[in-house]
Each structure stands twice: as C-alpha cells, then as structure tokens.
Structure 1
Amino acid sequence: MDGPGPGPGTLIGREPEIRRLETLVGRIASGAGDTLLFTGDPGVGKTALLDQAAALATGAGAGVLRATGAQFEADISYAALHQLLQPCLPELDQLDAVKPQLAGALKVALGLGTGPAPTRLLAANAVLELLRRAAGERPLLLVVDDPQWLDRASALVLGMVARRLTGMPVALLAACRTGEADFFDQGNPPTVQVAPLPERAAAELLAGRHPEMAPRVRRRLLDAALGNPLALLELPLPLGDLTTAGTLPTALPLTDRLQRVFSSRVRELPDSAYELLVLSALDGQADLRVVRAVAADRGGEGLAPAEHAGLVRVDESAGRLTFRHPLIQAAVVELSTSDQRRRAHTVLAARFAHCQPERHAWHLAEATEKPDEQVAALLDDVAHRNLRRGDYTGAVAKLLRAAQLSPPGRVRSGRLAEAAYLGSLVTGDLRDAPGLIERARSAHPGPDEPLVATVATAYRLLHGDGDVDTAHRLLTTALRERPTPPHDTDGGQVRVEALHTLTMICSAGGRAELWPPLHRALDDLPPPAPAELTLPARTLSDLARHTPETLALADTAVTGLGYEISPARIVRTATAAAPLDRLPACREALQRVVRHGREGGAVTSAIEALFLLAQDAFDTGRWDEARQLSGEGLELCSVHGYALLSWTGRLTGALLAAARGDFEAAADTARDMDAWAAPRRAGIVNSYASHVRSLTALGRGEFDTAFRNASAVSPAGTFAPYAPHALAVFHDLVEAAVHTGRDAEARAHLAAARGHHLDSLSPRLRLIVLAGEALTAPGTSEESAESALEAVILAPETGQHPFDLARVQLGHGSHLRRLKRIADARRHLAEAAEIFRGLGATPWTARADRELRATGITVSTTADSGLGALTPQQRQIAHLAAAGHTNKEIAARLFLSPRTVAAHLYQVFPKLGITSRAALRDALGAGGES
C-alpha cells in the first residue's frame, strides 16, 4: 500500500494514470480482458490509484475483488488467493457440479478440501474458470496491492492467470514498488511507472491539506518531499505549530525518518488499541472478525484510536482492516516486545485452531519460545502438506522452523537434513546445504545420523564438488548399516531418494564396480520397487543388455508423464528414457517442469529438464533451440553451484560446435571435461569428452582419431557393461571404422548391436545398424542390406533425427558413387547436403558437396531462398500445412508446440516468396503430404 491521499475522483496530478484506468475499466465492460501494473517508489500514490480504479469499476457496474500482500503472511500458502477469491467462493459448489476436477483442485489449494496436490497450471485454470463464472453476472476488476509480499503459491498462480485473461470480462490491476519482484516477472504486462508529482501538483496537494502553512515552510517541504505524496502528507504531522511559524528543524523526517513518524504515532495509542494493532499486523489478512472478537473479549476502545490516528482503514464491505502504508505495519511490529508478539500469535493460533490448521500451526510455532516437539510436529505436518501441494519453498521454511522448535536429537537433525536436501534438490540452494547439514550433525552427533542427512551430504558432494567416490562410500555404508526394516523408520520416500541419489552417483562414476551395492539395495526393497528407481538403474547402467520388461517399463513410465505432477519424477523418467531415444515423448512433460522452474518452482529439476530438452532438440535437428535451452540451464548451474550437471549442458553445446565446424570450441570443452573429471573419477564426463572428440574428428575428416575416441567409450565389437554412453557414440564408431578400412571391427560392432537387439530400441538405432550393414555386408548380402536401408531412410519416423539421417545418406551415397551407381548416389548425396545445409552443419555440408561434385553435379553454395533454404523440419511443416493440416495437428504429429509450428511457417513464407498459407502447395511444387 501507499500512503494516504485524496479520495477517488480528487487525485491531484494523476490525470494520465486516471485516463489509463478509465480505458482499462472500459475494456472490462466490453468483455476484453486486460492486465495493468503500476510501479513506483514507496509513498508515490499507487494505492490511491488502485482505490480510484475500484471506484471507477464500481461506478461502471463492475465487481471488484481485492487482495493485499502482507509480509507476515508470505509463508502461508495460497493466503492471498483465498483473500482475493473470498467473495466468489459460493460459486465453487456450482463449479463443482460441472467441472469437479477444477473445483476440487481449487478447494485443495485454498485448504477447503483434500485430494492430490494441484499443479500450478491446474490451479490457475480453476481460478480462471471460477472468475469466468463470476463474471457472467457482471464484469470483474481484480485489484492486487503489494504483490511483492504475496505468498509464493498465490503469486505463481496469479501470474499465470494474468497472462490468460484475454477475451474475458475480467481485468487485473496491480501495484508494486519499483524493483520489487512480483507475479508479473515471467510475463510482460502493460506497465505504468507512477512518477513523483510534478512541482505544481505537489504544491497544490500540500496547500490543500495545510492552507495556513507559511510559504517558507511550504518551500522547504516541497524541496524535501521531491513530489512524493506520502512525504508531502506525513512530513507536516510531527511539525505541529511549526508549519505556521516558519522555523523548521535542520533535519526533516525523510525516508527512514518517515518510519519514525509512524512509530511516534503508534506509540501514542492506548495499550488496548496497540495490542490489537500488533495482532492485526501479525495476522497478515487482518480479518475484522478476528480483531473484533478479540476486542470484545478485552473491552476498551477497539481500533477506533488507530483509525482516528490515520494508521489503519476499516473496509466494512470486505470485512478487512488495512494499514495505510506497509511502514506503519512494520513499525507496529518493530515497536512490540517479544512478549507482546508471542501473546498475539497465541491468540491467533487459538482463533484458527479449528478452521485453518496451517495458520494455526504457524502462529502456534511463532508463539512458542522453547523447544516443543508437539508444536514442531504440527509444523512438520504443514511442511509436508505444502510439499504435496507443490509449495516446496514454503515446505523448506516450515521444516527449518520445526527444526528450531525440536528438542536436540535425532528428530531435529532429520528435519534440518531434510530441509538441506529439499533445498538442494528442489529450490537449487545447493550452497546453503553444508551449513544445514553441519547443524543437523550438531543436533545429533554420533555415527547413527538420520539417513536423510547422509543423502543430503552425498547429493551435495556429487553435484557441488563432483566427489563421486566419497558420495558413493557414504551412501552405500548408510544403506548397508540401515537395512530396510518392516516399517521404514526413516520414511519410505527418504530411502527412495537415497537410492535415486546412489543411481546418479553410479552413473556419474561410469565404472562397473560402483553398481553392485545399488543393485543389492534395490533387491532388498519390498516389492514392488518403484519404477522411478528400477528404470534408471537399468537404462543408466547396462542398457545394451536390456530386457523386454525394461522397454515395457520405460514406455509405461513415459506414457504416464501426462498425469505426473512431480518435477523430480518427470525428470527421472525422462533421464532413464533418454538412452532409449524416447525424449520426444517426454517433451511436453519436461516443458512443464521448465515452466514450473521459471515461475519459482523446482529449480534443480528445471535445470535437468532444460538439458534433456536441449539434447532432444539437438537429436531432432532444432539446433538453435538446443543452444538456447542449454545456455539457460548453464546459467542456472552457475548461479546455484551445480558443477556436475553443467557438463551435460556443455556436452550439447560442444556437439553443436563440432557439428557446425567450431572445432576449437569443441576441443576446448573436451579438454575442460577431462581436466575436471580426472581427479574426481567422474567417468561419464570422460565419456562426454570422447564423444565430443569423435564428432569433431569426423567433421575434420580425421577418421582414425574419431575411431580411437569412440572406441575409448566402449571397444569395437562390444557394448561394455555399465557404459551407457556407448550407444551415443555407436554411429561415430561404425562410421569411423568404415572410413579407416576397419571393416572387421565395424562388422563386429554391428553384430554386437544385433546380438543385443539394439536395432529394436528406436528407429534411429535401426537406421544406424542397417546403414553399417549396407556398407560392410559381403557381396551376396549387400543387395538385401541396401534394400532394408532404403526402406528405413524413407520411413517418416527416421526424419525425426535429421543429422543422423544425413550422415547415413552421405556415407551411403559415397558408397554408391564408388560403385558407379551415379544416379542413386546423387539422390542420397543431394538430400544429405540439403539437410546439413539447413542445420548449419558446415563441415558436413562441404563433404556432401565434394561428393556431389565427384558425381558431375555443379554445386551452388548459396541457398537463401526457395526449397533449398528450408530446414528439414521446415519442409515437413510446409508439406503438412499445404495438405491442409492445422498448426495444432502439425504440432501433435511432430511433437512440437503450435507456437513453434507458427514460428516455422513465419520463416517459411519469405523463403518461398509467398505471403499466405494458400500459396504453399504451388510453391512446394509436388503438393502436400497427407
């Protein structure tokens, strides 16, 4: 809130802002939703403008819903959303009758019902539907003051709602301080900067309130206030008669001194009014029913003295009390003693004991001075309830407070350790973990620390320091010494987290000897073991020796991602499915994880999702997108200290550099990988380096170097156990072997692939196997192998991996040219060159062009228009659009978003020299695909 000001209709110097508000209200009346954000310094008059907007909306026949952020309620999930939607809650029952899923989600979020935790998107959709129904009777204006102090859960949902009001008779107006974070951070709403009043308007405001003020005093105050309405209105108050005497103190109350003005006015209140004011300040929602009930019990004048002093306003229609400025609220709390605050929290806890358990637990915790396990347990329960609702940050805060209230011992240690682990895993606060872990150990010294403390330590060692062996030793020892009892006293989920962390440690180490303890621990679990553990343990260890059960488990898990709400489980499933080339089917779920992280959710999961999406984009030929995604993930790694994770993102960047001919950058990254991995024995990062070097060497035409690097991951003729990255360099090894005359090694490697049925894992791997067999098959079998390869090349699903397809066609076309089958060679080589050129794979384009010239074709190296300028994906989209498919249909078919399809078409039209979709068929020549 901002300071006091003239009432609606009499604001001085705010004509441009009022015209903007009139436009906003007019848009609501016409049924066009909109958003508007006022920003400005404290006291500049933003709240007065919100009051003006509410008056304009009411006058136009619109309804007004209001909420105000409160510092002291920022830890209560969905408190602000409940405050905003309170008048609409009767509509929930009607919504429940037609859309029970949305109504149920909103009831859970608001603490009015029980059920599975709603995702932010589901909660936002429920709010939108509720508003849509409420606006059916009359348009609505949502007014949100001080959004920087909203609880995080409400802020995230309102941010999503604000971006989805188009076409609804609902508008959202908010006001926040300049530079403060708010729920619009991820959007780009129309914003009005509320500036200080111009000199003339400031003088008019001051003269209107203090017409008798001496000219010299007025000039001094105008110079000191610099157009800030709050300062103009408040500065004269402590001066008394000095405003007419013309003599002022040397130092006038400004900024910090304004706080002193508020403090002095608070001190003048009777004790009974002040205690009610403390209670109101700590309540956050300042519910008049609560305040008046307490006042009735205690007698006295109630809040009347505070109202008369201009410290608070009472809104009878909303049943709320509001402070005229947040500094007043802060001053009230600052001036209170610890005993006064505890008494207020005790009263509030009692008031909410039977109706709002989360607020009851929080206030009870704040009222408690000494360790009290009963109170700590209540807050611990609220923390885990927050987890189930997706409010991870709130859960960590409450766990930390519960730990403070826990008596020294194993329980306090466990809560501190769980906060450390959740902070690392979810919110990305890896650097805060060591301090919390040390506090956990101090709370319960000795060898039998809680398992979650060991998990937190191992997680930090792995991701922060990359200390694979120490992390492995800690976890395996803890799991061995704490075999799973009939009733897992550490909590089943803690053991799941321990085993998942151990899986990541084993994968990072890339050594066979690390895995057996994990497999033994998994075998000890009571059946059925969770898929989130068993699937990664299989695909990240010895994928070549997969079983049909593994594939079935993977496909079932990937299919279930559409209903999964846990970012961690989504990422774990996608990570396990990535070696199986199943990332396109995980794309939508991973994008949800990224959006969740960008909006303040699970940061660590968002980093992992960004890198998985970047890998998918590289594999499927969306290379600019791959660079952007990996760059975003790397920036987050740098901010949060995730060293090990960063190498996954740098791998994609290095492969892009190698494919596009930036060999020096690729080589530098490979050197960095080896230098980091060697002392830490992080074998997976060494494999990354070998992969980068093999692709770089292939791009340079240095095939012997490529063979040595690819076979360093796993020797030719075998897929070594516990070397899952061997599948990633499978193509490199076969291609390099063929080019260096190592036909026997190539055939042995292909035979091993056939023996392990790798060709059945995905269309990409089948393409590579068939391509290698066509190049190395003996004469009698060559025709059959070539026929199978041709069929796979033409298969639609093969085109989803354009770089691999073009490499196959380049090798096959070169082979056909040497056999003097020029026409067939030209076809494959031309298609390969076209794909490489579209991708920007410069060295590979040059190789394909050289081969084409050798067939007698004159190659043009410029293709900035026409069909040759289209990337493979743009060509697919153009053909489908020409056939009459909508953007949504094309998106579903190619595993893209409709927005991405539209962006590609926007680029296609100028390349083809057309301006409309209708002209696509003629421009493409052969018509569209069905």
Structure 2
Amino acid sequence: MSDSLFTGGDDPLGGTPPSVGRAGWRGGFVGRTDELAAIERCRAAAVAGVPWVVVVEGPSGIGKTALARRALEDRGDGLQVCWASCDATEKDLPYAALDQLLRRMPCDVPGLRELLRELTPDASPLAVGTDLLPLLAVAADSAPLALVLDDVSWADDHSRQALAFSLRRLWSEPVLIIATVRTGGALGPPVDGEHDWRSLWKGVQHLLPLHLGGLTEQDAGGLAREAGAPELSRAALRRLQERTGGHPLHLRTLLSEVPPPALMDLSHPLPVPSSLESVIGQTLRRLPHDARRLAEALAVLDLPAPLTTAGDLAGLTDPTSALAPLLTAGLVEWDPLQPTAPVRIRHRLQRDAVYHAISPSRRSSLHSAAVTLVAPDAAWSHRVAATTRTDPGLAARLDAEADRQAAHGLPGRAATLLLWAADLSTSRDQSEQRLLAAVMHLLTGQLHGRAAALRRAVEGCASSPRRDVILGSCACHVGDLDTAEHHLTRAAATATDPATAAVADLSLGVTRILRGDGVGAAAVLRPMVDQECSTVFARDALGMLAFAVGHTDGPVAGLDVLAPARLPAAAAVVPRTESHCLLYRGILRVLAGQLRAGGDDLTTLVTRQHSAGDVSVEPTPSAYAGLAHYFTGRWEEAVTRAEAAVLTADTDGSPWGLSMGHAAAALSYAQQGHRKQAESHLASCRQHATVFPWLNSLHPPVIAATLAQARGDRPAMIRALRAVEDPGVTAPGLLTVGPLLWAPLLVDAFTAGADPAPGDVERAGDALARIDRLVVHAPGLALTSHWLHGRIAVATGDVPAALAEYHAADRCTASDDDIPLHRAFLHHDFARLLLSAAGSRNRRDAASHLEQAHRLFRVLGATPYLERVARDLADLGATDGDGPGRRLPDLTEREHAVARLAAQGLTNQEIARQLFLSPKTVEYHLGHVFTKLSLSTRRQLRTLLRP
C-alpha cells in the first residue's frame, strides 16, 4: 500500500498538502473566487461544529486539487488536514485510501493504532466505519478536522463503504470533507463506477457540489503575469483562452513554451500545437537526452519512486543532473526531504503524454527492466505491459496469482489479474473463460459496479452456462427479473459442471423469490436440498427454500423446512457457517410473530457483519431486525436498524434491501407522528418498488395505511389497503408470508366505521384468520387476535362477544413477543366500548383503560394516539396521573432516540454505539433535549419518559 505524500496530479496551480516539501514547483493560484468563497463558508460552518462535504468535479487537469489546497491553507482556525490521494493502482487494495487518511492524523489520537491494525482485507466495512466514527470525533475535539479524498473515483471499495457509513453519521463534529472527482470530457476520459463513488456522499445532510470549468480570460491574464509574461492585450488573452479552453495545465504549458513576443503577435498563429499532449511532446523533445530518458522511466514506473530507482531504470549514472531540466520545465515533482527523495511526473495528463511518446520497443524494454525494481505485486502490471504478443505462459502465471489473491480475500485484485490474462490468451475460448472467471470473482466479492461495467464484454462471449449465470445474476441485481429468469433457466438446464449448475439454481431461486413466486422458487431449490449437491450450496439452498415455502404455506411452514438444519435455539451459538440459515430463520420468526427470537437471530447476524469479514455484509438482517423492533415498540432502535440497512444497500449496491429498510423506518416514524420523515421513506420505498415490483408491492400500501391510521383517516386506510387485495398488484405469496404486516391494519380499517360496507367484515375476518394461524406457534399474538376479534364483534353489533374478547385480551400476560401498540389500541377500544354502555361502573372502568392506554402510548412515544386518548380522558374529567393533556415539546426524531435511550440508563458511549453516532453528537442532542424539556438531570428525564 502506497504511503506517498504526493497527490493524484490534478494540481497545475496549487500549493502542497500540509508538511510536504517540494522542489520544482512553479506558480501560484489564480481565479476560482466564487468557488473559494463557497468552500470558505463550508469551512467556517464545519469549524463551528456543522459537518460539510464539498465535492469538486471536473476534467483531469482543470485544477480540482489546486482549489482544495488553496481552500485548506492556514486561516488561523487550527484546521488539521488529512490528505489521501486515491490511485488507480491501489483500487484493488482494501482500505488503501482510508489507510492514507489515518496515517495523516496526529499519532496520539486514541484508537488510531488499533484501527490501523484493523484494516485487513477481511475486515467488515461496517465494522471499520463504526470504529472510524468515534475516532474522527475524538480527533476533531482538539482542533477542527479536514479530510481530503483526491481522485475519489479511484478509491477502493472497502474505504468507500467504511467512509460512506461514517460520513452520514456526522452531525455536530467540526469536520470538513473535500472530495475531488475526475469526470469525463474533451480533456479526460470518463471514469467507471460512478454509482460507487457517488454513494460516498449520498444522504449527507450538508453537501456542496462544485463543477470546475476552464479559467476566464481575466484569470488567464493573471496566470500569464504570474508566469512572467508581459501584459497581454485582451485579444491576446482571448486567443490564449480559446486555444486552451481555459484549461490551467494547458495554459501553463503553453506559456512556458511560447516566447512573450509570439504571445502578443496576433498576426501570426501561436507557434505550438493546439493539443495539450502535443505541447507536452514538444517540451519533451527540447529536453536534454538524459532528462528525457529519466522522464520516460518515471512515466513507465507511474508512481512516486526513489530517484535512484528511476535513474537505474533510465540507465543513468547521474540522475540528479537529469532531474534539474525536468523540474525547470514543470514536468516532475520531487520531495528531497524524504530519505529516498521520491520523484514522479506531476500530472496524469503529463505522464500520459510522455508515455505515449515512447517508442513501443523502448516502452517494452523499460517495463521489462522495471519488473526487478518494484514491489512483487506491482511487478505484474510491468510484466503484462512488457509483452508485445500473446503469452500463454504469463497468462498461466497470472491465473495462479489470481487464485492466490482470491484465497487471501482479494477478489478485486484476482479479477484484475484474470482480465490481464484474458488479453494475453492465445485463443478466444481461453480469453473468454478468464474474462468470465474475473467477473465471477467480482460478483462473489460484491463488487457489482465493476461487474456491471464488464457486462457488455460478457455479452460478447460465446454462449455457455457460466455466461448465462453471470448475465442472469447481473440482471437480477438491477431488478431485470425477466432477463435474469431467461439466462438462469438456460444455465440451470445446460450446466454440466456441478458448481456452475448449483450457482445457476441458487440464483434462479433468488430471482423467483424476488418475483414473489414461492412455488417456482421451491421447484428449483428443493432438489438441491434433497440431493445435498454440496455442503455449502445445500445449506444456502435450504435457507432460501424455507423462505420460498413461507410464500406458499406461511412463515411457520417455512420454519419447519429449516428444522433439518438443527440450528441451536440461541442465535449466539449458531455456527458462523450457518449464518445463511440463521438469516432466514430470523426473518421467518419475525413474520411468524416470534418477535424476540427472530430479533435475536437477526441482531446476532448484524453483530457478525460488523465484527468480521467471514459473514457477507448485506442489508437484509438490519432491515428485518428493524421490523422486529417496530413490532415490539422499540421504534428508535427500529429506525436505527432500518437506516443502517438503507445505508448498507446504498453503499454496496444491494437494491433488494432498500424496500424493507425504508418500510421499517417509515412505519416507526409514522406511529411517532413524524409524518414528514415517514413520507420521505414512503417515497423512497415507492421508488424502489419499481425495481422489484412483486417483492415491494406490499410495503408502500402498508406504509400509506399506517400513516392514515396515525391520522385517524379510515377512508385513506381502506384506499391504501385495496392495493394489498389486488392480485394484479400484490403477489399472493407476499400476503401468505407477511400477514403480520397488513392483516391487523386491514381489520382495523374495515371495522372502524359505524356502518361497515357490505363485505368489509368478511374481508376483515379472512385477514384475521391468517393471524389466528400464527397464534399457535406465537402465543404473544394472542392479545392481537382477541383485540381484532373484538373489533369484528363490535362491527357486527355483538357487544357481549366483543366484551368477552376484550376481557380475554386484557388477561393476556405481557411477553417479549407482545406488540405493545396493539395492547394500547385494545385499552382504548375497550374504554370506548364501555363508554357506549350506561352505568357509573362502566365509566370508572373506561377511565382505567384510558389511563392504561395513555401510559402505553406515552412510553412508546406514539404522539398521535396519545393526543386522542388525552382528549377522551379530558371528556371524562379524569387524568392519568401525569396530566392527560401534558405533551412533550417537539423533539427531532434523533433527539427522541437519544433521549429515550438515555432514559433507559445508557451512557453517552453506549448510546453512540447503538445509534451509530459519535459521543459528541449524543452530547449535542442531549443538550437540546434538556433545553427543550427544561430539565437538568437524567433522573428527571427518566421520570418524564418512563412513567
């Protein structure tokens, strides 16, 4: 991993990163006044404790790095600057960019050494991101902190995911993040993987995007004066600006090549080529022979190298003398303060121009010589570049090295090596097989962006089962389920290799589950389980088969399918090798109403994802853990888990986790009365429903119905739930596997009116029958069942039956599987039924039930229902002991979450860990809570929030 202090090379005009001495740097900074002013405002806000992310985009050489450096110059505010220069050669190295950032931090930051040791290829990005967050907060405690990610589009995936997790959890830390992004255009090639690097700041609260274009005529004049040229006329400046497009590097190179009289003489054309590459080539040709040879060696090495190493490659006895003309020409940068005096060509465009000017034969010989001068891993690229023809021997060695890298947990590096081997193959068949193997490594390593970039190349391969598996998997990943079904069905039918056939069957099962086709998924997965095709594939198939059966026969039947796995009842002791089965057991348990056990399964998986690399990181465990917390009334925890799921899905490109993540967050926000946040998640859920329409068709109607329930809008509830009953919209399997999501809402909606419409009660009864089938295996749902049976009895006018059901529900002992919101609804409905009958005793009992409902709604933080119960209590002239009309001042959802965890006795550190915040942010939110609630101690907070 490079520890160079050099930047990525987009810096024709700027200064240097902090503490970096450089020789050969010419020029200051001109122009960009508006951009500098905008960044200065972000810097001031960050210093004051409001984190900001600044994204500077533009073509290569346009001055993005220069702008970042100028913006981060010393202003007397104590800003600490940590700089990471992302490089294409390190994109395959996990945590290369983050390692650079951390090594620029003060060495005395607590936890820094431990986190650096944690940056191994198998470390979970979520675990690293979780540990990075408090470290950033602590580092910023002593002085404001600036993090620079130069050329972020080349950042490795592990760093990107860990940083994305942390950046979205910064709330009150004095941190400024500046990312430079190389975009395509006439002056530079487009950069692949745009979705990947844009996910780094997706969802960040304070974001400033800046796009840099060319310098103006006025700025070009300032640059000319700075370069020592005489005062130029406006027409001469216009000619300069038009010739270069205002591109700073092109301008500076041209100014160094053209004598002042020629600049001012408009009667003759400029005596230099019009393209930047040609101008650099002309500069190169004018250099002394040794200087040109040194430049060629540096272009071939393409990384900061000791001057002695570059001199050896160039065949020079005195590289120092050869360096001087390159420094004068502004082609290289040199750091003589370092022991090895590393040197490199300053800018990527300059490097490419020098490299392209080398004759093919000399380029090959230089690469061949470089093999023995660089690190072993870097030597592979030089071996490949030195080859001028197909080379089956080198291709075979690359194959073996790819296997070694994959075994060490580096699928991205293995893919790169295989792609090189494909180019060196002697036959089309060998080339295609290596290409397909490379893409398979990317898919198994969850590097979906890079895999998608190779999809067109895969489509050009000859038809084969592996090709179909790859194309089907890629199509499934983006929600093109028809295409996925086509390719995977053909692969499953034609594969002769057992491993390829197993992957095809598994992927086809996933595709059909995503379509809501439990019968079709079970048809392809059951033979895999029965035949035990292999230990790994059979266990994966068993988990997915259980979920498929859940879609056909209900979640309890799905759990029965998992019985042969003989998983220990306690999630904590389930072997890590059984994590796939544990995932589906947790999901099915939650959907079956076994909320505590299912939540434990999923929380255990989330913990494993955050602590080790042998459990794949994907959003489903967090999303369904959020659903479990929602049902059990732990809504702040539900939001935390749900947002973690969304974050994971966003950062690793797993769209199937987005719908449930947004749903769990939206339901929790809706019941707390945070309508704006709930509607935002509903909009996102609907957006992702277009990707997987069958899978996600249930979630938006349920969210919309829950929002209407919180508003007390029964007609809106019914309108939303009509879609659930529409067979053209919702796959029947989703209704079968997830009745706990929709059935209680449907019964509530269709029995709330004084005069139900014909058929409404029957619909409610059919929905309730699905809940009743779960009660046998989930006794905690007995209260829900009795309450809803009581609602139906009231709707049909059978008051005695309703009273009997409500009394039975009231006698249900509270358990870990209780749904406390349903218990609160029961007490409120019971009170209203009692008030409809005459008698003072009924009024006293009604008041008691209203008081119990009030306390439960208050503990839950269910503000919309709390207000309704308070009104009913006021009508009775009763109170709940704390005052029926007493309301908490408006707290933000984050303040609610922090306050309720603090009321449970958690320390700031514990709250920070649970909510994925920094302790400083927790302290910040608690300060607002105490101010808004006029409190001074945590004891008062506990009294207020835990009556």
1:2 alignment partner AA: D
Counterpart in the other structure of 1:240: 259
Go from structure 1 to structure 2 and tell me whether the alpha carbon gap of 1:632 and 1:75 turns closer, same or farther (over 3 Å shift): farther
Cα shift at 1:499: 3.0
Cα shift at 1:893: 13
Cα shift at 1:776: 9.2
Instruction: Find the aligned partners of 1:699 and 1:338 in 2 and give their Cα distance.
Output: 81
Counterpart in the other structure of 2:549: 541
Say which of 819, 824, 832 aligns to 2:845. 824
Go from structure 1 to structure 2 and tell me whether the alpha carbon gap of 1:9 and 1:788 turns closer, same or farther (over 3 Å shift): farther
Q: Secondary structure at the match of 2:475?
A: helix
Counterpart in the other structure of 1:684: 734
Counterpart in the other structure of 2:4: none
Counterpart in the other structure of 1:464: 480
Counterpart in the other structure of 2:607: 562
Instruction: Encode CA deviations 1:72-91: one digit per residue, 9 max, x unaligned.
Output: 655555445566667899x7
Instruction: Find the aligned partners of 1:811 and 1:287 in 2 and give their Cα distance.
Output: 77
Question: How many residues of Structure 1 are paired with residues of Structure 2 in the alignment?
Answer: 839
Q: Secondary structure at the match of 1:2?
A: coil
Say which of 412, 436, 441 aligns to 1:416. 436
Instruction: Find the aligned partners of 1:73 and 1:458 in 2 and give their Cα distance.
Output: 27
Say which of 668, 680, 683 aligns to 1:617. 668
Instruction: Find the aligned partners of 2:305 and 2:791 in 1 and give their Cα distance.
Output: 79
Give structure 1 stretches of 5+ with no counterpart.
110-115, 484-488, 717-732, 735-745
Q: Secondary structure at the match of 1:321?
A: strand
Go from structure 1 to structure 2 and tell me whether the alpha carbon gap of 1:812 and 1:336 turns closer, same or farther (over 3 Å shift): farther
Aligned: 1:105 with 2:118: yes
Instruction: Find the aligned partners of 1:198 and 1:882 in 2 and give their Cα distance.
Output: 55
Counterpart in the other structure of 1:790: 810
**1:502-521 correspondence runs (5 A):** 502=509, 505-506=512-513, 508-512=515-519, 514-515=521-522, 517-521=524-528
Counterpart in the other structure of 1:929: 946
**1:314-713 correspondence runs (5 A):** 314-318=334-338, 319-335=341-357, 345-352=367-374, 355-357=375-377, 359-365=378-384, 370=390, 372=392, 373-378=395-400, 380-381=402-403, 384=406, 388=409, 403-404=422-423, 408-409=428-429, 412-413=432-433, 415-416=435-436, 419=439, 427=448, 435=456, 438-440=459-461, 442=462, 445=463, 449-450=465-466, 453-454=468-469, 456-457=471-472, 460=475, 463-466=479-482, 477=493, 490=500, 495=502, 498-499=505-506, 502=509, 505-506=512-513, 508-512=515-519, 514-515=521-522, 517-525=524-532, 534-539=542-547, 541-542=549-550, 543-545=555-557, 546=559, 552=570, 554=586, 555=597, 557-558=601-602, 559-565=604-610, 570-573=618-621, 591-598=643-650, 600-604=651-655, 607=658, 610-611=661-662, 613-614=664-665, 617=668, 624-632=676-684, 634-635=686-687, 641-647=691-697, 649-656=699-706, 659=709, 661=713, 667=719, 683-684=733-734, 697=750, 702=756, 705-706=759-760
Instruction: Find the aligned partners of 2:729 and 2:43 in 1 and give their Cα distance.
Output: 61
Instruction: Encode CA deviations 1:168-202: one digit per residue, 9 max, x unaligned.
Output: 99987766679998787355478999998898876
Go from structure 1 to structure 2 and tell me whether the alpha carbon gap of 1:474 and 1:685 turns closer, same or farther (over 3 Å shift): farther
Instruction: Find the aligned partners of 2:231 and 2:832 in 1 and give their Cα distance.
Output: 94
Instruction: Find the aligned partners of 1:339 and 1:666 in 2 and give their Cα distance.
Output: 76
1:518 alignment partner AA: L
Instruction: Encode CA deviations 1:459-484: one digit per residue, 9 max, x unaligned.
Output: 736931358976885576478x666x
Q: Secondary structure at the match of 2:527?
A: helix
Instruction: Encode CA deviations 1:260-299: one digit per residue, 9 max, x unaligned.
Output: 4234324545777556545534644332358525435466
Instruction: Encode CA deviations 1:723-755: one digit per residue, 9 max, x unaligned.
Output: xxxxxxxxxx23xxxxxxxxxxx6xx776444x
Go from structure 1 to structure 2 and tell me whether the alpha carbon gap of 1:579 and 1:48 turns closer, same or farther (over 3 Å shift): closer
Instruction: Encode CA deviations 1:422-445: one digit per residue, 9 max, x unaligned.
Output: 5596637897787455345x1xx4
1:285 alignment partner AA: L
Q: Report if the CA contact (8 A) 1:2-1:46 is conserved.
A: yes
Instruction: Encode CA deviations 1:672-703: one digit per residue, 9 max, x unaligned.
Output: 9957669xx87438988996977764567746
Counterpart in the other structure of 1:730: none
The one of the two structures with greater contact order (alpha-carbon pairs below 8 A, sep at least 6) is 2
Counterpart in the other structure of 1:285: 303
Aligned: 1:2 with 2:11: yes
Go from structure 1 to structure 2 and tell me whether the alpha carbon gap of 1:206 and 1:581 turns closer, same or farther (over 3 Å shift): closer
Instruction: Encode CA deviations 1:52-73: one digit per residue, 9 max, x unaligned.
Output: 789969x999998755344565
Go from structure 1 to structure 2 and tell me whether the alpha carbon gap of 1:227 and 1:563 turns closer, same or farther (over 3 Å shift): same
Counterpart in the other structure of 1:739: none
2:353 alignment partner AA: A
Instruction: Find the aligned partners of 1:133 and 1:79 in 2 and give their Cα distance.
Output: 20
Go from structure 1 to structure 2 and tell me whether the alpha carbon gap of 1:703 and 1:757 turns closer, same or farther (over 3 Å shift): farther
**1:778-927 correspondence runs (5 A):** 789-790=809-810, 792=812, 798=818, 802=821, 804-809=822-827, 811-817=829-835, 821-825=842-846, 828=849, 866-867=886-887, 885=905, 888=908, 915-918=933-936
Instruction: Find the aligned partners of 1:366 and 1:607 in 2 and give their Cα distance.
Output: 42
1:564 alignment partner AA: Q
Instruction: Find the aligned partners of 2:313 and 2:85 in 1 and give their Cα distance.
Output: 23
Go from structure 1 to structure 2 and tell me whether the alpha carbon gap of 1:710 and 1:669 turns closer, same or farther (over 3 Å shift): closer
Say which of 128, 131, 156 aligns to 1:122. 128
Cα shift at 1:562: 0.6
Counterpart in the other structure of 2:576: none
Counterpart in the other structure of 1:307: 327
Instruction: Find the aligned partners of 1:246 and 1:215 in 2 and give their Cα distance.
Output: 10
Q: Secondary structure at the match of 1:313?
A: strand
Instruction: Find the aligned partners of 2:89 and 2:218 in 1 and give their Cα distance.
Output: 38
Go from structure 1 to structure 2 and tell me whether the alpha carbon gap of 1:48 and 1:250 turns closer, same or farther (over 3 Å shift): same
Counterpart in the other structure of 1:265: 283
Aligned: 1:295 with 2:313: yes
Q: Report if the CA contact (8 A) 2:83-2:148 is conserved.
A: yes
Q: Report if the CA contact (8 A) 2:11-2:65 is conserved.
A: yes
Question: What percentage of aligned pairs have identical amino acids?
Answer: 18
Q: Secondary structure at the match of 2:334?
A: strand
Q: Secondary structure at the match of 1:867?
A: coil
Q: Report if the CA contact (8 A) 1:39-1:178 is conserved.
A: no
Instruction: Find the aligned partners of 1:902 and 1:423 in 2 and give their Cα distance.
Output: 41
Go from structure 1 to structure 2 and tell me whether the alpha carbon gap of 1:465 and 1:219 turns closer, same or farther (over 3 Å shift): closer
2:117 alignment partner AA: G
Q: Report if the CA contact (8 A) 1:311-1:328 is conserved.
A: yes
Q: Secondary structure at the match of 2:697?
A: helix
Q: Report if the CA contact (8 A) 2:670-2:678 is conserved.
A: no
**1:96-245 correspondence runs (5 A):** 102-106=115-119, 108=120, 116-119=122-125, 121-122=127-128, 125=131, 145-154=150-159, 185-186=201-202, 187=204, 188=206, 203=221, 205-207=223-225, 209-212=227-230, 220=238, 230=249, 233-240=252-259, 242-243=261-262
